């Protein structure tokens, strides 16, 4: 299993699959926002940024999967999955235990050198309330589903990291 994960991490297909799954989740979030009319809150915007980090990790890894650039992609992947897991957990706690003294910000705070809310307001401007639970599927809210998603990303990333020392077997057609 670990040899297989190592072999997959040295190919473009697995990295592109990572990027495509994150892109599909981003497109789903935009569907919820622009088609279904659900307003994203600040925590939702930050979770989107973590998903963009996972997508970026997939792109970085796919550029040169057999080079040391793979390690950079893996580091971005693990960091983004950890941050996404932390953010979605905090968001879930805001929804499950609403408190008038603990609220989220009115607007996302991006660094001055990366004003995403100014560059792409249709994606990165928050207009909802973090404590509002306006969507459920199988009794789980959206941030609870994001906990599942980011936990899955993190588990797979750690498995791939553990698999790195296990070199794939060389296949020789003349040996048994």
Catalytic-labelled residue, pool 12, 48, 49, 171: 48
Q: Please indicate, yes or no, whether the overall pTM of this predicted structure exceeds 0.95.
A: no
**Residue 50 in this model has a pLDDT that exceeds 90:** yes
12 is catalytic: no
Other residues' Cβ atoms within 10 Å of the Cβ of residue 150:
24
**Residue 161 in this model has a pLDDT that exceeds 70:** yes
What's the pLDDT at 84? 94
What's the pLDDT at 175? 52
What's the pLDDT at 171? 60
Catalytic-labelled residue, pool 130, 133, 171, 176: 130
Q: Which 8-state DSSP code applies to residue 136?
A: E
According to DSSP, the residues that pair with 99 across neighbouring strands are: 102
**Residue 131 in this model has a pLDDT that exceeds 90:** no
Catalytic-labelled residue, pool 3, 8, 10, 41: 41
The model's confidence at residue 143, banded by pLDDT at 50, 70 and 90, is confident
104 is catalytic: yes
**Residue 160 in this model has a pLDDT that exceeds 80:** yes
In whole numbers, what is the pLDDT of the chain averaged over residues? 83
> Is residue 119 within 8 Å of 89, Cβ to Cβ?
no
Q: Which 8-state DSSP code applies to residue 26?
A: H
The model's confidence at residue 133, banded by pLDDT at 50, 70 and 90, is confident
48 is catalytic: yes
44 is catalytic: yes
49 is catalytic: no
More confident residue, 64 or 82: 82
User: Above pLDDT 70, what percent of the chain?
Assistant: 88
What's the pLDDT at 174? 56
d(C-alpha 88, C-alpha 109), whole Å:
17
The model's confidence at residue 163, banded by pLDDT at 50, 70 and 90, is confident
> Is residue 68 within 8 Å of 94, Cβ to Cβ?
no
Catalytic-labelled residue, pool 3, 70, 82, 104: 104
């Amino acid at each position: 299993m670990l040899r297989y994960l190592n072999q997959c991490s040295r190919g473009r297909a697995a990295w592109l699959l990572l990027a495509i799954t994150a892109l599909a989740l981003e497109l789903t979030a935009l569907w919820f926002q622009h088609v279904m009319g659900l307003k994203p809150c600040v925590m939702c915007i930050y979770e989107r940024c973590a998903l963009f980090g996972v997508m970026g990790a997939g792109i970085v890894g796919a550029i040169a999967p057999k080079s040391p650039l793979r390690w950079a992609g893996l580091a971005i992947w693990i960091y983004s999955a950890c941050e996404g897991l932390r953010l979605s957990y905090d968001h879930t706690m805001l929804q499950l235990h609403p408190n008038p003294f603990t609220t989220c910000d009115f607007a996302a705070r991006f660094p001055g050198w990366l004003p995403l809310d100014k560059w792409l307001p249709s994606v990165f401007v928050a207009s909802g309330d973090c404590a509002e639970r306006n969507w459920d599927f199988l009794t789980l809210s959206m941030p609870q589903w994001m906990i599942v998603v980011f936990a899955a990303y993190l588990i797979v990333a750690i498995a791939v990291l553990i698999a790195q020392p296990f070199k794939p077997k060389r296949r020789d057609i003349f040996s048994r």
